[in-house]
Amino acid sequence: FGSGSIDNMARPEPQMMQRGNQQLHFNLDGTPYVEQAKIGRGAFGVVCKAIDNKKGKQVAIKKIPMAFLAASLARRSLREVRILKHIEHENIISLVDVFTASSFNAQRDIYIVMNLMETDLHQIIHSKQALHEQHYEYFLYQILRGLKYLHSVGIVHRDLKPSNILVNSDCLLQLADFGLARCIDQCNENVQMMSLYVATRWYRAPEILFSVPNYDTKVDIWSAGCIFGEMIQRRQLFPGKDIVSQVKMIVCILGTPEQRMIETISSEIVHDWIAACGAKTAVPLGMYVNKANERQLAVLERLLSLSPWNRCSAEDALAMPYFSTYHDPSIEPNAPQKIFFDADEIERLPTSDLRKALDEEALAFEAIRGPYENSLVLPPLDYSAPFPYTDPSDIPGLSFIDHLNDAQQPGPSRVEQMEEDPDTPINSSAESLSSNSSTETVRRMEIARPIGRCHASAEPEMETRDDSDQPTSSRYIGPAGIQLPMDDFTGYSSAPVDT
């Protein structure tokens, strides 16, 4: 579940507006879950905080409105469930339950239950809350620890960004939103087509931007490097306004790709974009990420290598001296075995089979925990019925949009509450910030004061934003001596879905 708050929404589709308020209703009748508050909403669902009366703990429940009616929503949901049901790791979001329930107009919505987290890394980075060296180190350590396990399972996340990384006030971090993940063996598709869907642009690896076939887990390592740099600088490293400018920015900063990489680029258009930049020499990373110290730069240089074969793996990164406080191979396990799910099959499934597959996933959970006794009797599904509308996210080149009415008035966001007292340190104890801090001590540093409304849904940020969110161009001007294509920078502090 990633950041997509109720306060920053795109306009709903006209045909969905009349059903918007209805889709905010959670039908939890007969389940052990009792809704407490709506805490997020995005293009791929609504999220509420609930209490699990059987286990006595809070959970986050994502409702996918009309999940059986929107093809792309069903595909994302199916992909995420099929991956997460096989994974159990401290730094990866846990799938607790999946069930379906009747909705208005006799439709069936899918509910995905996960463990509740308090906020996401995007909200922390772009607040005025103070961050310390130990936070950068421990956050990146956990990202890489989660990636090491995920990659050992045989899965590439493909959409890592700060809003898809959830954090608690004790500094526990978990990777979330696996709706675009794939098996490593299936990452050899037509990258030119897949680039419309893979990874939010600002965190997208060069090999995907450059249309290089056969990418692998190194695309996640690049994203981790972008996130680490963003933590340090408190701004995005490569905020291109479109794919063309994204390519230009990376080339201008990291230099012209080596010949070996140029030869693997399959798109003539991309060749033209790179050629238009002229011969570029890499800018010293310390000049561009000028708030980073030498130890941090050593890590960034390994994570942000332009050529994927020069980029380190998550396992190699964890062994770097920067993580010596936390690194312990005995608590950084690989998965006991790889998993395989056919992502290509999911893409090919007709609408009727998508509905069946999601229904079967919910039934599999029911077979383990038993049925919910008092739940409403579900109407029979007509698996052959056509979709009543076309989900815009099924159309290449269009942005994801919100399908829900934005009538609900939100309360203050977590960032707004964090900004009430921006000078308050994370932890006033000097001892807890020393180089001898234990893992447990750092985990208990407070990122922000506890609040009641603070969970992030794992949805892409909306494209529609208020102009007041745009900073002056100087925010993205590099240090003196670095020539950057400033017209290609976007001023948004929230990452785009894609264009």
Q: HSE on the CB side for 261, CA within 13 Å?
A: 21
In one-letter notation, the amino acid at residue 155 is: I
Rounded distance, CA 135 to CA 139, Å?
6
- Is 92 within 8 Å of 175 (Cβ atoms)? yes
In one-letter notation, the amino acid at residue 205 is: A
Q: What is the radius of gyration, based on Cα positions, of the chain?
A: 22
- Token pair in block for residue 492: 């948004």
Give me the helices (H) in 304-370, please.
314-318, 343-348, 351-369
Which secondary structure element, helix H or strand E, spans residue 442, and what is its range? helix 439-443
Q: Catalytic residue among 97, 109, 120, 159, which? A: 159
Distance of CA 126 to the CA centre of its chain: 16
Rounded distance, CA 203 to CA 200, Å?
6
- Token pair in block for residue 128: 């005025």
Q: Is the dihedral of CA 326, 327, 328, 331 positive or negative?
A: positive
In terms of Cβ atoms closer than 10 Å to its own Cβ (0-12, 13-18, 19+), residue 410 is middle
Give me the helices (H) in 94-171, please.
121-125, 133-153
Which secondary structure element, helix H or strand E, spans residue 52, and what is its range? strand 45-52
Beta strands in 244-285 (DSSP E): none
SS3 40: strand
- Token pair in block for residue 44: 């791929």
Q: Is the dihedral of CA 44, 456, 9, 463 positive or negative?
A: negative
Query: How long is the chain?
Result: 499
Number of helical H runs and strand E runs in the chain: 17, 10
Rounded distance, CA 303 to CA 312, Å?
6
HEC per residue, 17-31: HHHHHHHCCCCCCCC
For the chain, the first-to-last Cα distance in angstroms comes to: 23
**Is 63 marked as a binding-site residue?**
yes
In one-letter notation, the amino acid at residue 117 is: M
Residue 159 falls in the annotated catalytic set: yes
Place of tokens 């978990």: 174
- Residue ranges for the binding site for ATP? 63
Binding-site positions = 63
Active site residues: 159
